[in-house]
Homo-oligomer: A and B are copies of this chain.
């Protein structure tokens, strides 16, 4: 049924060895022999079997990408950045989402043995660290957004704290004082760091003590932002501003505000985090902290490729921190900027 290298060899009247050599261009082959082999490949419609190749070369040219979820633009952008860089390095991407609990994560980690050359893992759950540490020693692995204290595996981390600080600086500079936090999942490191930035920014202000009353829980989804928005809208007095720990929640929150007749930013300011592609198209356009999510993925992949190249899993232990950038739009009451078209680079 399926044609193998031996069939080609037989057809061309040579050995499999020689066929292998012309396929991989790994050794000189007589011109005429090469021609015959090429013809045989063509006429038999032969395509080398990647799996068999991997077994002997010990390279799958595939990387595993394990994510907590696949929902929303954040992951979409992340995968896009990873895929782009992967194909540039001639690698395939095996992706898997929703590893809610460590047991599931471990099962996947095991299942991937012999199928991938390395992995990119995003595991917000702190309980996963011992597991990752163990596997990360056996196979090249790059962590996304891990806790620097919990693991010394190579990792790319967003500067969540710095980003939150700069957003808070911006809000305070605009005169907002009572700034509510729309927080993310409790065990999520990104969410925690962003919350910490909010908290410490408020520490020096008169609100400092009172701030705890202005914390609203969300789970990074639009829906949770919508729900929190409804609660916030019912507050009196209204806070001056809401700092949402991600854009998806800000989007939901904005929608709730609108339904409750609140104008943004006139009645209340609203800021997000991530700068997902849709943020600039909101009404009003959303002030956010740009993370360049695709770049995050691209860097993780680049790092992984170099790790896999050296063969060592611990050769390069530096932790890379991705700078963020405050993107001021209309949702917080700052002087309106002219709408800036995204460049092609930003879209792609």
A interface list, Cβ under 8 A from B: 2, 47-55, 60, 62, 70-73, 75-76, 79-80, 83-84, 87, 92-98, 110-115, 138, 221-223, 226, 251-252, 254-255, 258-259, 277-278, 280-283, 285, 339, 341-342, 347-348
Residue among A54, A79, A92 with the highest chain B CB neighbour number at 10 A: A92
Complex A-B: 23 CB contacts under 8 Å: A49-B113, A50-B111, A50-B115, A51-B51, A51-B55, A53-B114, A55-B55, A71-B80, A71-B277, A72-B73, A72-B277, A79-B79, A80-B97, A87-B96, A87-B98, A92-B111, A93-B94, A222-B277, A223-B342, A223-B347, A251-B278, A255-B285, A278-B278
Taken together as a complex, chains A and B put the C-alpha atoms of A255 and B339 apart, in Å, by 10
A76 touches B83 (CB 8 A): no
Contact A92 B83 (CB under 8 A): no
Cα–Cα, bound, A53→B111 (Å) = 11
A75 contact set on B, CB distance < 8 A: 76
**Are the CB atoms of B97 and A95 closer together than 8 Å?**
no
Q: How far is the CB of A144 from chain B (nearest CB, A)?
A: 17
A259 to chain B, nearest CB (A): 6
Question: Which one of B2, B83, B97 lies within 8 Å of A97 (CB-CB)?
Answer: B83
Q: How far, in whole Å, are A280 and B223 apart by their CA atoms in the complex?
A: 10
Contact call A115/B96, Cβ cutoff below 8 A: no
Q: Which B residues lie within 8 Å of A282 (CB)?
A: 255, 283
Partner of A110, one of B47, B73, B83, B281: B47
CA distance A175 to B301 in the complex (A): 53
Closest Cβ–Cβ distance, residue A242 to chain B (whole Å): 15
| Interchain CB contact under 8 A, A51 and B223 | no
Chain B residues in 8 Å Cβ range of A112: 50, 92
CB distance from A19 to the nearest CB of B (A): 16
Distance in angstroms between the alpha carbons of A258 and B96 in the assembled complex: 39
> Which residues of chain B are near A96, meaning CB under 8 Å?
83, 87, 92-93
A72 to B254, CA, bound (A): 21
Alpha-carbon separation in the docked complex, A290 to B113 (Å): 39
Chain B contacts of A226 at CB under 8 A? 281, 341
CA distance A254 to B252 in the complex (A): 17
Residue on B nearest A76 in the bound complex, by CB: B76
Contact between B71 and A84, CB atoms less than 8 A apart: no
- Which residues in B have their C-beta under 8 angstroms from that of A92? 94, 96, 111-112, 115
Q: Is the CB of A76 within 8 A of B84?
A: no
Smallest beta-carbon distance A307→chain B, Å:
16
Contact between B347 and A221 (Cβ–Cβ < 8 Å)?
Answer: yes
Tell whether, in the assembled complex, residue B348 and residue A71 are in contact, meaning their CB atoms are under 8 Å apart.
Answer: yes
Report B-chain residues with C-beta under 8 Å of the C-beta of A259: 339
